[in-house]
Structure 1
Amino acid sequence: MTRASNTYTLVADIGGTNTRVALAEGTVLLKDTVRKYRNSDYPGLETVLQAFIAEEDGVDCKGACVALAGPVKGGRGSMTNLDWEIDDATLARATRAEKVALLNDLQAQGHAIGHLPSGSVRTLVDGPAAEPDAAKLVIGVGTGFNIAPVYETPGGRFVPAAEAGHANLPVRAEDELALIRHFETSHGFPAVEDMLSGRGFERVYLWLSETRGTAVEKSAADIMMGYEDGSDAIARDAAQMFVRMLGTVSGNLSLIQLPFGGIYFAGGVARAFAAHFSDLGFLEAFRDKGRFAGFMQNFAVHVIEDDFAALTGCATYLEGR
C-alpha cells in the first residue's frame, strides 16, 4: 500500500542477532508493519533500513529512531558483537528523514512506559500509589543486563543512559563469594551481567554442577525447563541463586535511584523468571536492607511483557522532541 509522505516515523531495535523495524504514527506502533531482519544477512544498518523502506513501497518518513543494545554517545552507537556503522548520519542517509535519533535499548524501554497497549505491563509486587512525577527504573535482563532511570521533568521525560551491567557483583553469602571468585578466574572481572543474563544463568548452573562433582553445560532454556518441571535439583538451586542475586542488585539500584513510580523489568530472561519471583525469594532479597527493609516497601515491581516496547519507546521519544 502507498503511505502518505511525512506522516510516519521509522523505528528500529537492533539486537545481537536480529533487527526489528516498523512504522509508528505518533506514539502508536503499527504492529502490522513490524519486520525482523537477521543481522548476518546484511552488511550494515543502512541496507536493513533500505530493505524495509522498499518493502513499504518507498515510504517517506518524517523521522527515524533506532534503539541498540550498547552505549550511545555523540550521535554514534556501538555494539560489542556487531561491526556496523550506527550513527545519526547513516540513519539520516538511509531513511531521508528530517529528524533522527539513536537510543540505548533500555532508554527506549523507559520512554515506552505509559504508552504501551493495555495488558502489556504486569504487576509483580504492589506498592503505594505514586505521584505523577515520581521517578521510575527500568531493569533489563536478557542477553545482557542494564538499567535506565526515568525522570518526569517540566521539559518532558528524561531517560539517561547507563552501563550498569559492567559494575561489580555484590556479595552477601559464602556461595556468592565462591561464585564471584570463579568469575574472576574465568573472565577477569566479576561484572553484574556475568551472572544476571541468559549466559550468566548458564554459568551459574555450570559452576554449581562442577562444585557437586560433574561439570554439566546446559542452555538457559533447558535449565529453566528442569527447574519448572522439577526434574533437576541443580536447576532449582541455580534459579534460586540467580533470582536472589537479582533481588539484591535491584534493591541496591532502588536505593540509589528511589523509583517511587515503580521498577519495570524488561527482557526475555526477566520475563521468564517473573512468574517465579515469589517462589525463588526475590522479594526477600530485594528488601533485605537492614533498617531500610520497611522502606523498600515503597517500590512496586512490574514486568514489561510487550516484545515491541523498545519500538514504541523510539516513537514516543521522537514525538516528544
Structure 2
Amino acid sequence: MNLDAAAGQTWLVADIGGTNARFALVDGPGAAPRDIHRVRCADHPGPVEAAGAYLAERQAAAGAAWRPPSWAAFAVATPVGQDRIELTNSAWSFSRAASEAALGLDGLLMLNDFEALALSLPGLAPRQLRAHGALPSARGTLAVLGPGTGLGVGGLLETAHGWRAIAGEGGHATLAAADDFEAEVLRTVRGEFAHVSAERLLSGIGLPTLYRAVARVRGETAAELTAEDIGTRGASGQDTLCAATLDTFCAMLGGFAGNVALTFGARGGVFIGGGIVPHFADFFFASRFRERFESKGRFRAYLEAIPTALIVEPYAALYGAAAAIEARRRRAGSTGHAA
C-alpha cells in the first residue's frame, strides 16, 4: 500500500450507519468533502455496491475530468479491528480487504463511526457547532457521543504526534437512574430486556422503548409512534406524553454525557453528535441536559468547567474520515513507509 500515491489524488469517504450511508469525494489534504450523497442501506446489498453506484454517477457527471479515488476511509457503526465487518444495526456484512480490491483502491481505512466523528472535532468551525455558553476550545482531551440509530461514544487525545482517536462501545454500558422516576422507568424496561444499556433508551431504536416505559410509569396509554413522531410531537408541545419522554431522554443523556466526561477526563469539551438531537435542538438546549451533566456530587465543579456543544454539521464524520486518511499518510511520510 503506497500512501504517497494518495498525494494530489481523490479520496472516497463514507459514513455508514444502521439506516443510511453517506458518500463523498475529497480532493486531498485539507479539502472539504464534496458531492455528498446519501443512500438507504436497505437499497444495496453492501457498501461496495452502494459506493460503486455513487462513483459511477460521479464519473458520468465529471466526464473526461474524472479521477477515480486512490484511497478511501469508511466510518462504520460497529467495532472494527478485524477484516470482517458486521454492522450492529444493519444487515451489511463485508470484508475490508475484498472491498478494497473490488473498488480498485490502493488502500481502504476502516474506522468506527464515532472514531471518525472524534477526528472531525478539531477542524469544526463555530458555524458547525451550537454550544451551551462558550464553545469548546478543542484542546487537550475531548469526548463525543451521539444518538443516531444507535448510541456512539468516542474520545480524542491531543498528543505530541497529533490527535489520536479512541474508539469504544460506550453506548452499550449499563444506563443508570438519577432519581426515583428514572428508576421506575428502568425497572419497567428491564421487564422487556435483561440488560438496559444507554443505547437501549438513548437512541433512535431506543426512543420508542423509552416512550412506552414513561407512559407506563405515568399511568398513560402509549400510541404506536416512531422515534421521529415522538421527537416532533414532543418538541412542538402538542403531545404531553411525548414531551415528557423527550424531557427524560435529554436528562438521562446529560447524566450519561457527564459519565463519559469523567471517564475520559474530557476537560477540553464534550460534543453531542448523531442524527437525533438536531431535530429538536431548541428543546434540547432548554432541557435538563446541562443540569444533569453537571450533577455529579463532589465533582460538580469539575463538570461545570467542561464545555458542551451540539454538532450541527450533518456530515462531520465524513470530515473525520478524510482526516484519518491525511493522518495515516502523514505518519507514513514521517517514517518513510506505509504504516
TM-score by length of 1: 0.90
Secondary structure of the structure 1 residue equivalent to 2:122: coil
Note if 1:54 corresponds to 2:61. no
Q: 2:32 aligns to what?
A: 29
Does the 8 Å contact 1:106/1:147 carry over to 2?
yes
Secondary structure of the structure 2 residue equivalent to 1:56: helix
2:85 to 55, 59, 77: 77
Secondary structure of the structure 2 residue equivalent to 1:86: strand
Secondary structure of the structure 1 residue equivalent to 2:155: strand
Does the 8 Å contact 1:76/1:102 carry over to 2?
no
In structure 2, how many angstroms separate the alpha carbons of the residues matched to 1:150 and 1:112? 10
Q: 1:297 aligns to what?
A: 304
In structure 2, how many angstroms separate the alpha carbons of the residues matched to 1:43 and 1:97? 20
In structure 1, how many angstroms separate the alpha carbons of the residues matched to 2:277 and 2:232? 15
1:282 to 283, 289, 304: 289
Note if 1:44 corresponds to 2:46. yes
Change (3 A) 1:120 1:289: same
RMSD between superposed Cα atoms in Å: 2.2
Note if 1:317 corresponds to 2:324. yes
Paired amino acid for 2:98:
T
Q: 2:142 aligns to what?
A: 136
Does the 8 Å contact 1:206/1:217 carry over to 2?
no
Q: After TM superposition, give the deviation of residue 63 of structure 1 in Å.
A: 1.0
Paired amino acid for 2:32:
L
In structure 2, how many angstroms separate the alpha carbons of the residues matched to 1:238 and 1:83? 29
Uncovered stretches (5+) of structure 1, i.e. residues with no partner: none
Paired amino acid for 2:242:
A
CA displacement, residues 201-247 of structure 1 (integer Å, 9 cap, x when unaligned): 22222222234142323222322333333222222221211111111
Does the 8 Å contact 1:266/1:303 carry over to 2?
yes
1:122 to 130, 138, 142: 130
In structure 2, how many angstroms separate the alpha carbons of the residues matched to 1:75 and 1:159? 20
Change (3 A) 1:174 1:154: same
In structure 2, how many angstroms separate the alpha carbons of the residues matched to 1:5 and 1:289? 48
Q: 1:100 aligns to what?
A: 108
Secondary structure of the structure 2 residue equivalent to 1:294: helix
Does the 8 Å contact 2:9/2:67 carry over to 1?
no
Note if 1:225 corresponds to 2:227. no
Q: 1:170 aligns to what?
A: 176
Q: After TM superposition, give the deviation of residue 27 of structure 1 in Å.
A: 3.4
Secondary structure of the structure 2 residue equivalent to 1:114: helix
User: Aligned pairs, how many?
Assistant: 315
Paired amino acid for 1:94:
A
1:241 to 245, 248, 251: 248
In structure 2, how many angstroms separate the alpha carbons of the residues matched to 1:161 and 1:298? 24
2:268 to 261, 264, 267: 261
Does the 8 Å contact 2:232/2:280 carry over to 1?
no
Does the 8 Å contact 1:5/1:60 carry over to 2?
no
Does the 8 Å contact 1:27/1:115 carry over to 2?
no
Q: After TM superposition, give the deviation of residue 59 of structure 1 in Å.
A: 3.4
Q: After TM superposition, give the deviation of residue 295 of structure 1 in Å.
A: 1.7
Does the 8 Å contact 1:6/1:62 carry over to 2?
no
Q: 1:194 aligns to what?
A: 200
Does the 8 Å contact 2:235/2:280 carry over to 1?
no
CA displacement, residues 91-130 of structure 1 (integer Å, 9 cap, x when unaligned): 3213322232001111111111122355111212437x75
Uncovered stretches (5+) of structure 2, i.e. residues with no partner: 1-5, 60-65, 329-339
Change (3 A) 1:124 1:24: same
Q: After TM superposition, give the deviation of residue 18 of structure 1 in Å.
A: 2.5
CA displacement, residues 221-279 of structure 1 (integer Å, 9 cap, x when unaligned): 32233333322222222121111111111111111111121111101212234422343
TM-score by length of 2: 0.86
Does the 8 Å contact 1:75/1:101 carry over to 2?
no
CA displacement, residues 167-205 of structure 1 (integer Å, 9 cap, x when unaligned): 111122122112112222112211111111123222222
Paired amino acid for 1:292:
F
Percentage identity across paired residues of the two chains: 30
